[in-house]
Amino acid sequence: MTAASSNPTANARISSERRSQIDVVRPTGVPGVEFFHYRLSSCLAPQLPDAYAITVVDSGSGCVRYRGRNYDVAGSSVLLSKPDELFAWTSIDTPIEARALYIDASLFELQLASVRDARAVEFRRFCVADDEAADRIGAVVSEIAGDSRPIRLSEALSRLLARLGDRWVTECGKAGENAGPVCPGFIRRARQHLVDNARSKVTLADLEKVTGRGRFEIIRGFKHAVGTTPHEFLVHTRVKNARRLLRDGHRPVDVAGWVGFFDQSHLNRHFKRLLGVTPAQYRKA
């Protein structure tokens, strides 16, 4: 393992046995923004971010699955995904280096408010070739790494989102080739039940009562529409809730029980598996 860096802009770092490395930074003065720097030699667990994810792949090649489709990605690819939607690296052919910005939905939509009805937006495509967007992502990252004044970071972020708004954002229902699988009503009810009861022990029998469907139909439908199983979605939801509390400065030992994990070690195991950093490292970022 690589110890946490003393640099305040890169103080959550972890190296896996396969030499993958992840840095996470939350800039001061601009709430709602996180920066992850990925150096991957092996696949991460599937991701379910609670924010808009804007990723530029700087080098390497591999395959990412999003909304039921596989995408070959390589250096200069820009990946665009919405909050609460699962995507996963399914293979890494050559080591990946990528920079990802996670932008809170309210901040993202506020920036787009002058362009369109930002309360209902959609990306036209998931994987795009856009050198201008990649350069603007780089400009945002440079401001974060330089620990610049919040106004400069906000300006760089506005320029990036203006580019995305002009080129890659459309209204919901007009995603075209980027549209995901149809989500049946009973799967939506099951998903919402898991979100609403993430702190509790939720069983397949509970989901059967909520949906009126059998457990095997629920599992198959959930896997097709959401991209993972009900249990794994529940774990993702708990980790997502834990991230919010950790960002507010709460201790991992307290957060674990609040979000539905048995204890801190249970939280640590799943948090590190899904994000690549421990709750303590994430809290300090």
Ranges 174-183, 219-228, 268-277: which has the least confidence = 174-183
Q: Which residues pair with residue 73 across a beta bridge?
A: 62
Residues 221 and 262 in one domain: yes
Average pLDDT over residues 176-200: 86
* pLDDT score at 177: 59
Residues 25 and 45 in one domain: yes
Residues 100 and 161 in one domain: yes
* pLDDT score at 169: 85
Is residue 114 over pLDDT 90?
A: no
Q: pLDDT tier at 15 (50, 70, 90 boundaries)?
A: very low
**Can you spell out the DSSP letters for 28-73?**
TTSTTEEEEEEEESSPPPPB--SSEEEEEEEEEEEEEEETTEEEEE
Residue 222: which CATH number? 1.10.10.60
Average pLDDT over residues 166-180: 69
Establish if 1 belongs to a structural domain. Answer: no
Q: What whole-number distance in Å separates Cα of residue 170 and Cα of residue 167?
A: 9
Is residue 100 over pLDDT 90?
A: yes
Establish if 5 belongs to a structural domain. Answer: no
253 φ, ψ (degrees, to nearest 5): -65, -30
Tokens of 280: 């303590």
Query: Domain tally for the chain?
Result: 2
Is residue 16 over pLDDT 50?
A: no
Closest of 250, 238, 234, 237 to residue 282, by C-alpha: 250
Residues 59 and 83 in one domain: yes
Residues 26 and 166 in one domain: yes
Residues 153 and 207 in one domain: no
Residues 206 and 150 in one domain: no
Residue 94: which CATH number? 2.60.120.10
Q: pLDDT tier at 107 (50, 70, 90 boundaries)?
A: confident
Closest of 128, 131, 161, 134 to residue 32, by C-alpha: 161
Q: How many CA atoms lie within 13 A of 209 on its CB side?
A: 6
DSSP state of 183: -
**Higher model confidence: residue 263 or residue 6?**
263
Is residue 222 over pLDDT 90?
A: yes
Average pLDDT over residues 62-83: 93
Share of residues in the chain with pLDDT > 90 (%): 65
Dump strand ranges (E) for the chain. 13-15, 21-25, 33-40, 52-66, 69-74, 77-81, 87-103, 121-123, 127-129, 169-171
* pLDDT score at 189: 96
Is residue 182 over pLDDT 60?
A: yes
Establish if 266 belongs to a structural domain. Answer: yes
Question: What is the extent of the structural domain holding 211?
Answer: 185-284
Residues 193 and 143 in one domain: no
Ranges 114-118, 179-183, 201-205: which has the least confidence = 114-118
Residues 59 and 120 in one domain: yes
244-268: pLDDT as tens digits: 999 999 999 999 999 999 999 999 9
Mean pLDDT of the chain: 87
Residues 129 and 78 in one domain: yes
* pLDDT score at 232: 95
Tokens of 69: 């489709």
* pLDDT score at 148: 73
**Higher model confidence: residue 5 or residue 48?**
48
Establish if 8 belongs to a structural domain. Answer: no
